[in-house]
């Protein structure tokens, strides 16, 4: 019983920081959409930029994230007030025991500043604004605004009658009643709102459609190049290469490595044949018979490596067709790319701190870890053999000495520059796991 009580208490004590992290993640998603699709400016429809369907998608996404920010900030303020009133302690211990109180406070203030910076761009708007979503005060006591889409595809805001008159900072608004009680009452009011069910259904449908489009696009990226490579190789490339490349006149080997492999295979066959004859397991063979056996084996090896050489040439053209197919899929599915990016961001940002740290360590150890050079060497040699090129050991060594180092630098910069802002506790967990 005590264990369950301690677990419940730890979950309760971590509520403020957990709610703030979720609000911060939602604000990051808004900032990512602005940077990716609107040049860092607020999400506003512009002429000749996106079609109505894409505009509706951005509208739904932004409205969802802003609502998430409001709800999580309300949860952050309410739980923080109740926790301080009952415990009188300023320490939040869930998931961040490695950070001091001063560092934790600085992280919380930094997140709140970033959230303010993002949502303030949608605080005030003139009557002629064409903002995609309603803009108002996104504090914990805000009443949701309604969105009316005009016939021309633009959006205008319809302010509710009971909209809050002041627009103080997120943590500065005061009133007659404590903020926690006001936030609880507002949550109850939203739960009893007759339109809340419709909003939940709309959010679910949007998430379902996003998941469906993302999975479909990923399958397209996998299936289309594979089918294109195999079909083009079997139907188009192979007949053309076989027609222009006469096996009797063409070179048996496209590179010297294949020739060395063939000679080594013939040498091993000859030595094994002589060894078996010396042991008495083979009938006595004259030199003429020995030469005939070697000639038959040489012809067999030559046919095999001639097929390997032709197959390497076919792979080059088939791979080019696959790359063209991938490029066409990407060019003709830009909307799906935006949806997939948003889906991946939500999936990654929704992971726990330990899961994020585990994925980072897994990828860094595979691609830039201590044993990664062996994997890169095998991968490069297989790629060179696939297209019929000799495995240049000097190039492979130079590649292994530079490319993993560049990847390692990019990983470290990303962790320092972005992950430290998105989830500081995940960085702390990553460092503890890495040690």
Model confidence at 139, pLDDT cuts 50, 70, 90, reads very low
Tokens matching residue 139: 């504090």
Closest to 38 (Cα-Cα) out of 131, 112, 146: 131
d(Cα 266, Cα 260) in Å, to the nearest integer?
10
DSSP label at residue 130 = -
Helix (H) or strand (E) holding 190: helix 179-192
Residue with tokens 């726990």: 352
- Indicate whether 59 pLDDT > 50: yes
How far lies 351's CA from each of 185, 201, 398, in Å? Answer: 30, 24, 37
Contact 172, 199 (CB under 8 A): no
- Indicate whether 427 pLDDT > 80: yes
Mean pLDDT of 150-164: 38
Contact 95, 31 (CB under 8 A): no
d(Cα 233, Cα 318) in Å, to the nearest integer?
5
- If phi over 0 gives left and psi between -120 and 50 gives alpha, with beta otherwise, what is residue 15? alpha
Percent of the chain whose pLDDT exceeds 90: 14
Percent of the chain whose pLDDT exceeds 70: 73
pLDDT in tens, 174-196: 455 565 676 777 777 777 777 77
Model confidence at 221, pLDDT cuts 50, 70, 90, reads very high
Length in residues, the chain: 435
Tokens matching residue 335: 């909307």
Q: Strand, helix or coil at 49?
A: coil
d(Cα 180, Cα 40) in Å, to the nearest integer?
35
Total-model pTM: 0.53
Model confidence at 153, pLDDT cuts 50, 70, 90, reads very low
Q: What are the CB-based long-range contacts (under 8 Å, 24+) for 163-169?
A: 163/136, 163/137, 164/137, 164/139, 166/137, 167/123, 167/124, 167/137, 167/139, 168/139, 169/116
- Indicate whether 84 pLDDT > 60: no
Q: Which residues contact 1 (CB under 8 A, 6 or more apart)?
A: none
**Residues paired with 398 in a beta bridge:** none
Mean pLDDT of 150-157: 37
**Residues paired with 148 in a beta bridge:** 156
């Amino acid at each position: 019983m005590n264990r369950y009580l301690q677990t419940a208490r730890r979950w309760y004590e971590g509520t403020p920081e957990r709610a703030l992290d979720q609000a911060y993640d939602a604000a990051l998603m808004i900032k990512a959409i602005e940077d990716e699709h609107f040049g860092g400016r607020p999400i506003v429809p512009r002429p000749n930029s996106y079609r109505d369907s894409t505009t509706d998608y951005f509208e739904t996404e932004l409205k969802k994230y802003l609502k998430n920010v409001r709800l999580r900030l309300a949860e952050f303020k309410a739980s923080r007030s109740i926790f301080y009133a009952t415990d009188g302690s300023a320490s939040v211990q869930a998931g961040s025991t490695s950070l001091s109180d001063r560092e934790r406070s600085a992280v919380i203030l930094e997140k709140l500043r970033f959230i303010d910076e993002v949502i303030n761009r949608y605080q005030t708007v003139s009557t002629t604004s064409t903002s995609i979503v309603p803009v108002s005060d996104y504090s914990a006591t805000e009443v949701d605004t309604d969105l009316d889409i005009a016939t021309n595809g633009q959006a205008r805001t319809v302010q509710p009658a009971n909209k809050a008159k002041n627009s103080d900072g997120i943590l500065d608004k005061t009133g007659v009643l404590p903020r926690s009680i006001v936030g609880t009452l507002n949550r109850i009011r939203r739960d009893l709102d007759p339109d809340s069910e419709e909003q939940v259904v709309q959010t679910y449908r949007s998430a379902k459609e996003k998941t469906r489009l993302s999975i479909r696009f990923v399958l397209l990226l996998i299936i289309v190049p594979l089918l294109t490579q195999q079909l083009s190789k079997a139907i188009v490339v192979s007949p053309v290469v076989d027609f222009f490349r006469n096996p009797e006149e063409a070179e048996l080997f496209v590179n010297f490595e294949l020739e060395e492999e063939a000679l080594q295979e013939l040498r091993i066959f000859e030595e094994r044949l002589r060894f078996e004859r010396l042991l008495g397991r083979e009938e006595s063979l004259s030199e003429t018979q020995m030469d005939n056996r070697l000639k038959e084996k040489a012809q067999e090896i030559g046919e095999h490596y001639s097929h390997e050489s032709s197959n390497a040439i076919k792979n080059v053209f088939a791979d080019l067709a696959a790359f063209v197919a991938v490029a066409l899929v990407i060019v003709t599915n830009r909307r799906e790319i935006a949806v997939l990016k948003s889906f991946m961001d939500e999936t990654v940002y929704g992971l726990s701190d330990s899961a994020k740290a585990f994925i980072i360590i897994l990828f860094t150890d595979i691609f830039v870890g201590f044993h990664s050079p062996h994997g890169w060497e095998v991968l490069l040699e297989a790629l060179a053999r696939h297209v019929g090129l000799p495995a240049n050991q000097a190039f492979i060594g130079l590649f292994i000495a530079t490319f993993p180092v560049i990847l390692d630098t990019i990983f470290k910069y990303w962790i320092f520059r972005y992950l430290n802002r998105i989830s500081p506790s995940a960085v702390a967990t990553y460092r503890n796991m890495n040690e």
